A and B are shown apart, each in its own frame.
Chain A
Amino acid sequence: MSLSILLCLPVLLALVATQLPERYVGRGAALLSLIPLGIAIDYLARFNPGNSGLQFVTDKLWISSLGIHYKLAISGLNIALVVLTAILFTISLAWSSQRQIDRPKLYYFHFGLAQSAVLGAFMAQDLVLFVGFFDLMLIPFYFLVGSWGTGDRVRATVKMVIYTAVGSFLMLAAAIATGVLASGQHSTALTFTFTALQHLGLSRTDQDWMFLAFAAAFLVKMPLAPFHGWLADAYKSMPIPAVAVFSGVVSKVAAYGFIAIVLPIFPQASHHYQTLMLVIALFSILWATAMAFTTKDARLVIAYSSVAQMGFIMLGIFSLKSTGDQGALLQMLNHGIVTAASFFIVAAVAARADGSENLDDMGGIAFRAPVLASFFLIVTFANLAMPGSSNFIGEFMILLGVFSTQMWIAIVATLGVVGAAVYALRLFITAMHNRVGGRVKSFEVRRIEVIAIVPLLALILVLGFYPQFGLNKSQDSVKAAIAPAAFGGCQNDFPGRTVLSCVAYDPSKTPTSK
């Protein structure tokens, strides 16, 4: 079975669903999305963790004159994310299907398109293809916010599109430049596949420019502070199922881009900018934490907590240690699950507070909804990365990785861990405990909420007992991905890799090697 099927199915199935009578579109889309989920799980089962390279490769020369390949593959880096994407989309569709949606046919079509784009971005093994999918992701979300959003959605879309577009141009330019420069410097045919580019090292200066362009696109998409200006409005306006997948997987595409593209293709630049990236990540953690415990909006608490979590993931990636990067990959999976569950719970809580997501309107909901309170509590503990949750193992490994490269950054970053306890618990308490809020009508969790929350909760619990599950598949791939960057690009451990500027490159003169 080819990966193209997995790639195209979501959008095709969404088209099939739109042919159903309007009342059944949602349920049809949700049920049909089980097919790509099944296929993704099948790939997971057949995945061979002992192989650090690409598996299930589909490779066709697409535009031969430009050397662009249509190349998809699964590796230890993206397998968990592909499965996560399938899971979160199925759950979001299930949540939507239980609700009245305006113009359902278009809505579900956009969801299908979004899922295909995200899967494509994760599986693409060609730079141009990746950029294409990366940009394609924006289109369905643009419509989802613009047409089905709430509040000041015009402002939100404008901001989101402009921010991401600026990043995307830079990345597109850099992607093309990388292919052209690499083939030029090594006098080979034009190529954009990751594997080929890994073997065609760029000169130091070129790497630096390319690195910065890619980093700009990814930092905006994740987002990390101070590139997060679009986040609050966009997250606030998006419909809940859209924000769950956006925060759950779309933001992970950017983090995945760093680990799968930037580190292997621009290893020396990654090494060179390591400290800068760590500092941005650290700044993001502290900033977002401070924001999360000040904001009065329940949804924004989760939104900022994801900025902080993306900061941790970034720390892990740029620790350039296998411990840290493994932790980062695990944390991407954990965070995807937990943040989606959190958004659904915020929606459930808001439904009991007269539709308001303002913390001042909430309170005492646990009183008549003990089951919902227990769900919320478990998600809260996972969100603050309490030991015993898989999130803790992710953070533990990330911090350990950073600790062994830049001890002080790890120590300062733990402030984010303490801060997370404050804002996560504050959110739980103000919503569920204390006196019953003025507009609160508390009632027990309902089927339409259970359908989304319980599967995610089950995943949180299973991963809590067995976080190793999230680590097993990726060990060798992670080592291979970070090896060149970890050694500053000078260690020639890729057979066939030509290193251009290692002679001029003196580790003792870079700021990161002290």
Chain B
Amino acid sequence: MSNENLFHISSSPHIRDKRTISRIMLDVIIALLPALVVSTIIFGARALVITLVAVVAALITEHIISVLLMRKRTTIGDLSAIVTGILLAFNLPVAIDPILAALGSVFAIAVAKMAFGGLGFNFINPALAGRTFLMASYPAAMTGAIFAQKGYGGKLPENLSGMNLDAVLGANAIDGISQATPLVAIKKLQELQDFDLLDLQEAFAPLFLGNVGGTIGETSALALLVGGIYLIYKRVINPLVPFIYIFGVFLLYWIFGGDYSHFSGSAFTVPMFQILSGGIFLGAFFMITDMTTTPITLKGQAIFAAGCAIITFLIRKFGGYPEGCSYSILLMNLLTPLIDRYVKPKVYGTGGAK
């Protein structure tokens, strides 16, 4: 037999791919690294410690549940628990108690993921479920002080941060500062009708680079963008989905944004500020692209992303919370089976000819 491949007989599947779950998850972890590095620079080593705690807690929980309760081989090898841990930590403020970070991880893995059967069976994003759990249980710790290291370079203008940072930091006597996150600030200022567009424009650079208050992983749009482009290059995610989400929020803010003429330059300031701040980029590249909890078809994913954009906009604009990104994704997670049902692709060869 010289050419045994030619006569190889086997049952389906016939088309195989080298891509495995652990390979995809590894790519996601690599893509998350830039944001982790940037947050360590901005918030200090504590950001790294919190992330490590969350990851370790997620791994231990998954190992214990899969071995002791489900009585099968441990599933931590697929690396998905690491991704969940990192994503959860990215959604936490850096000042949070590490015990709470671990608790959130345990909840994310045990209740949101393993209780439903593990990877592939969970219907909501485990990391976001963990965040929501902490949010409902410890609201003070989740929205409390956000501090940065000494020598905190980036700064929101005084009007947005509520303090003269040059004066505060010039004294050089403090380890960190706490200030309102950009979204809290703009929500307050919009209620007071007291903000200057130039202030917002001045904030674009720090927002893009990440030198602002916020949770560990969400602040740097640039780092997340780098990770997202890596994922797109590796074909783990489809660029259309994050694009629809980010552009959708931008568009909604542009249309319903405010008092400016829609084609003047100032009409784009608020939408730009909104997409750069908060968790939009984190959600767009790492959460609404999750394979388990989003629709299967590209059409379904596009509907999913558009729905997320609408809900995010509604919560930010009219809701009580300054940020609506994570709740919008959780709500759309629940709608995923419905979307899948209506965008089911036609089986080739069935259905009448037109």
Question: Are both chains from one complex?
Answer: no
